[in-house]
Amino acid sequence: MVVLALAVFAADQLTKKLVLNFLGYADERVVIDGFFKFVHWVNTGAAWSMFHGNNAILAVVALVALLLLVLLRHRFDIHTTIGWVALGLMFGGIAGNLLDRLLPTRRHVIDFLYFYVRRRGDGAEVGFPAFNVADSAICVGVFLLFVLSFRKENLARPQPPSEGSLKSE
């Protein structure tokens, strides 16, 4: 789990450093026209720029989230592959975005992956909000925790008796 968290954190920071080195603020590099491009956008809010301008509060929220994950990690079934992968992804992702918020040279999260389509008629872009490696890791980690919780719920559910066990009674 720790190795995965460190790998996610490193990949997140490396990719953001590349964006800072190769894309000016608000620059874009189309990779697949009408579908995907690299952008250099900043976000002082949370997902979809909610709570925009509340960087300090969101840094505190991220610190609390990390603390809660550490304190409650035993509840996430970390002895299964899905459990430790989920926690590793979330730890690394939260830490990556937290560092962005705390660095005096940034004080915002850098988003750079942008998927979009062109609207018929006027050709305007309609896209999914830009995101980064940390955001992806957090989302996949949360999804895996949901999968794990449903799996545990199904295993804990009492099974109806089989036909063979009914005949022997």
Q: Which residues are part of the catalytic machinery?
A: 111, 135
Burial 68-105 (b: 16+ CB within 10 A, else e): ebeeeeeebbbeeeebbbbbbbbbbbbbbbbbbbeeee
3 state SS of 127: strand
3 state SS of 32: strand
Q: Please give the C-alpha separations between residue 76 and each of 6, 39, 55, 59, in angstroms, as whole numbers.
A: 19, 35, 28, 24
In whole angstroms, give the CA distance from residue 61 to residue 80.
27
Residue found under tokens 């850098």: 110
In whole angstroms, give the CA distance from residue 81 to residue 67.
22
Cβ neighbours around 18 below 10 Å, total: 12
